[in-house]
Structure 1
Amino acid sequence: MGWQSRTRTLQVFDTELSADTVEWCPLPQWSHVLACGTYQLQKGDEKQTAENCTTPSRIGLLYLFDCNPQPSFIPPLTETQRIDTPAILDLKWCHVLISECPVLGMATASGEIQLYKLMEPQQGTCGLEYELSTELGPDRLALSLDWSTGRGESSDVRVVSSDSSGSLTVLSLGEASLTAMCQWKAHDFEAWISAFSYWDTQIVYSGGDDCKLKGWDLRMGPSSPTFTNKRHTMGVCSIHSNPHREHILATGSYDENVLLWDGRNMKQPLSETAVGGGVWRLKWHPSQEHLLLAACMHNDFHILHCQKAMEGQDAPCPVLASYILHNSLAYGADWSRLPLSNSTPPSPQEPPQTSVGLTESGGHLRIQYESPTASFDTSLEDDSGRYIPDQCPLPEKSSVPDPVTSPARDSQSLSCLMATCSFYDHMMHVWRWDWSPEDKQKPSEPVPSS
């Protein structure tokens, strides 16, 4: 059976400041809530670097949106709140309720992990309220965070964070406190990413600008890693544990490759997939265990099908879909858990009704350093404030595999809602992806000759 994969833009939102992280609330009652974080180095402080990271030079905005995915999708998102914050490097919702409220964690350029509670008034829309924070240490930026609750387990809720000093910190969440349980030097340079194993939350993974992927067992203490892997040839900046399949781990790097691992054997990856851009974020689908969303910096956003790799077949993961409408570095990406109707999306010829126009540019500007913590020179932007990356080839698309199981009981099709954001053009996009069987009654079209 042949399958077709289609993406459609539903809405584009200007975040004003550079956007680098976007997260849908994973809790069913609040799955309509979307958060987006931004990072801006204030003009006049371009000489400041990650080693000289005082708070005033880096500012951010935390956005909150409400999504109403009616069949018309006009418009799906409504902004409900914006909060002035230090520059935001990462956002993650806790996967369980804390004191009967959803909680959003934020890693900031002020070196703090901040927590916000989502409050739902009797009348009106939800809003975030600052709850508490903790400092990771002086002269550092908090670069990432992850919750131990990825499989929905609410006992012993903890947070792991990585920072620009190369350190990891594990924090315990109490009734009114966020307390550091342990902190240690994990990498020689920036520790870009940290993540729990969702199946054994005493296991923590980290990746750094020293090109190393490491594992840590908190029961043994952080004196030495359980493994150190140098398979990635550049900085390791994304890690995500699969919440549906035990032992499966995805990692990404500035070396433009996505690696899949079996946590029981970290000497050799299960697969290696070239995606044509540095892999800043990876997200497993909330219910389909084989689907992986990748934010690929200079080369847009891609959905990978990882079934064969997870079954032990040593082959790259085929790309099911690519979203290529951002005009800047692809940083933030997340799947929504909101259900979508399987109605036919607009035809390719119809322009998205709620998108803003994205003008074409004939020029190209080159970025000198891809990290969001670098100091950015204003010459990297054109007259409209947009960064135009070098053209990169899309990953080669293999034949689209059939779903392993039917995504829905009554049909073999899948419709997903996604949010992605890009840096220099300060844009957040909301789009849908439809994966469905091809209509056998439709006559096949001739393939044009090359």
Structure 2
Amino acid sequence: MKIICSDSKGRLSLVQVEESSPSLDIQCQWGAHKFEAWIAAFNYWNLSTVFSGGDDCLLRGWDTRSTPVHPIFTSKQHSMGVCSIQSHPLRENVLATGSYDEHVLIWDLRQMKQPVSDTHVQGGVWRLKWHPTESSLLLAACMDSGFHILDTASDGCPIASSYVLHNSLAYGADWSTQSPSCNASASPEPASLQANRSDATRSDGAAPNLEQPVQNLKIFYESPTASFDVILEDDHGDYLPETDPVKDLDNKALPEKSKYGPENTSLVATCSFYDHVLHVWRWRWQRTQSGE
């Protein structure tokens, strides 16, 4: 097994982990950035290629089959330090990057001159995670602006949903690799909430399109270090209890439920910095039937 590491001196280190012993062997190490190298990540489709981002505002690709001297590519599209990178585990040639400049960029690795999309998320993008099964969904931890789920299948890569109930910097986020049951009444729920947004699928059924509000967010677990209560209010200041009919953000009734497919549920874990709090919450959404 190999690990790629970045450090505060701007270097990358490719480390070999021996399965038979706990020893670590640095296979190669090289200077990748002028200042801190904030992030390093493998290309999941070609493990000899790694990507790096640094405080010099550069995104770079490297070929590790020999000791890297020159990068495969260098991008200057980000205007501040590049601090998050993730290769897409389900779609070849797709890469997501985030920066202190508050932008999430989606790339096609076959054409690195310009990103495919650029989304301003109002906070430094410290972590990015692709959904394990829904190829268009991207989770972002955005420091001062909370956590956002981006719909990369829609034009402009809009924000499909946001979670802003942490009282500190949004630093870590990840999806559960297992789909939770929609009926989770047995799970402890110190607080619950609803947030209505969208999830319709394209007529070809290939990827979700999150435009019409039909979803539900619920906290499953809040770490014991938390010292505050959390609820969610709509735009009018009204609390949204679970027993209420599902409505959109304008407080209007949604179309007939028969127009929607099976309910989809994802479990998300998010954590914040100074208050040491972990939240585990559920995101529910429904797609419209194909062809509508």
Q: For 1:79-98, list aligned pairs within 5 A.
A: none
From 272, 275, 278, the equivalent of 1:422 is 272
Equivalent AA in structure 2 for residue 316 of structure 1: G
Separation in 2, partners of 1:201, 1:347: 41
Query: In structure 2, which of residues 179, 193, 198 is the aligned counterpart of residue 339 of structure 1?
Result: 179
Distance 2:3 2:219 in 1: 39
Partner of 1:412: 262
Deviation, structure 1 residue 342: 2.3
Structure 2 letter corresponding to 1:358: F
- For the residue of structure 2 that corresponds to 1:278, the secondary structure is coil
- Measured in 2, the distance between the counterparts of 1:354 and 1:168 equals 36
RMSD: 2.5
Equivalent in the alignment of 1:436: 286
Q: 1:236 aligns with which of 78, 82, 89?
A: 82
Q: CA deviation at 1:218?
A: 1.2
How far does residue 225 in structure 1 lie from its aligned partner after superposition? Answer: 0.4
**Which position in structure 2 is the counterpart of 1:170?**
14
Q: Could you tell me how far apart the structure 1 residues matched to 2:221 and 2:26 are? A: 44
Query: Runs of 4+ in structure 1 displaced over 6 angstroms?
Result: none
Query: Matched residues in 2 for 1:300 and 1:328: separation?
Result: 9
- Structure 1 residue aligned with 2:95: 249
**Alpha-carbon contact 2:220-2:280 (below 8 Å) kept:** no
Check 1:329–1:166 CA distance in 2 against 1; reply closer, same or farther (3 A cut). Answer: same
Q: Shift in Å at residue 252 of structure 1?
A: 0.2
Q: Are residues 1:212 and 2:58 paired?
A: yes
User: Where in structure 2 are the equivalents of 1:61-80 lying within 5 Å?
Assistant: none
Larger strand proportion of the pair: 2
Superposed displacement of residue 228, structure 1: 0.8
Q: Deviations over 1:368-416 (max 9, x none)?
A: xxxxxxxxxxxxxxxxxxxxxxxxxxxxx9xxxxxxxxxxxx9533201
Q: How many Å separate the matches in 2 of 1:354 and 1:207?
A: 33
Shift of 1:307: 1.4
Scaled by the length of structure 1, what TM-score is found?
0.48
Q: 1:348–1:434: structure 2 CA closer, same or farther, 3 Å change rule?
A: closer
- Post-superposition Cα deviations, 1:296-324, rounded to whole Å, max 9, x if no partner, equal 0010000111114xxxxxx4211111111
Give the letter aligned to residue 418 of structure 1: V
Equivalent residue for 2:152? 306
Q: Could you tell me which residue of structure 2 aligns to residue 358 of structure 1?
A: 228
Letter in 1 for 2:81: G
Corresponding residue to 1:190 among 36, 46, 49: 36
Structure-1 residue corresponding to 2:255: none
Query: With CA pairs under 8 Å and 6+ residues apart, which has the higher RCO, 1 or 2?
Result: 1
Q: Secondary structure at the match of 1:228?
A: strand
| 1:333 counterpart letter in structure 2 | A
- CA deviation after TM superposition for structure 1 residue 436, in Å: 1.7
Greater alpha carbon shift after TM alignment, 411-420 vs 226-235: 411-420
Letter in 1 for 2:114: Q
Contact in 1 for aligned 2:219/2:282 (Cα 8 Å): no
Give the drift of 1:348: 3.9
Residue 394 of structure 1 aligns with which residue? Answer: none
Hey, what's the Cα distance between the residues in 2 that align with 1:182 and 1:287?
34
Corresponding residue for residue 3 of structure 2: 159
Residue of structure 2 equivalent to 1:82: none
CA distance in 1, matches of 2:221, 2:141: 23
Amino acid at match of 1:329: L
Give the gaps of 5 or more residues in structure 1.
Answer: 1-156, 309-314, 361-396, 398-409, 439-450
Counterpart position of 1:202: 48
- Structure 2 distance, partners of 1:288, 1:267, is 27
Match of 2:168 among 296, 321, 328: 328
Check whether the contact 2:48–2:65 (CA below 8 A) recurs between aligned residues. Answer: yes
Residues 255-312 of structure 1: per-residue CA shift (max 9 Å, x gap): 000000011111111110000100000000111111100000010000111114xxxx
Q: Following TM superposition, by how much is the alpha carbon of 1:437 offset from its aligned partner in structure 2, in angstroms?
A: 4.8
Match of 1:238, as an amino acid? S
Counterpart in the other structure of 1:318: 158
State the one-letter code of the partner of 1:422. S
How many residues are matched?
A: 228
CA distance in 1, matches of 2:30, 2:228: 45
Letter in 2 for 1:434: R
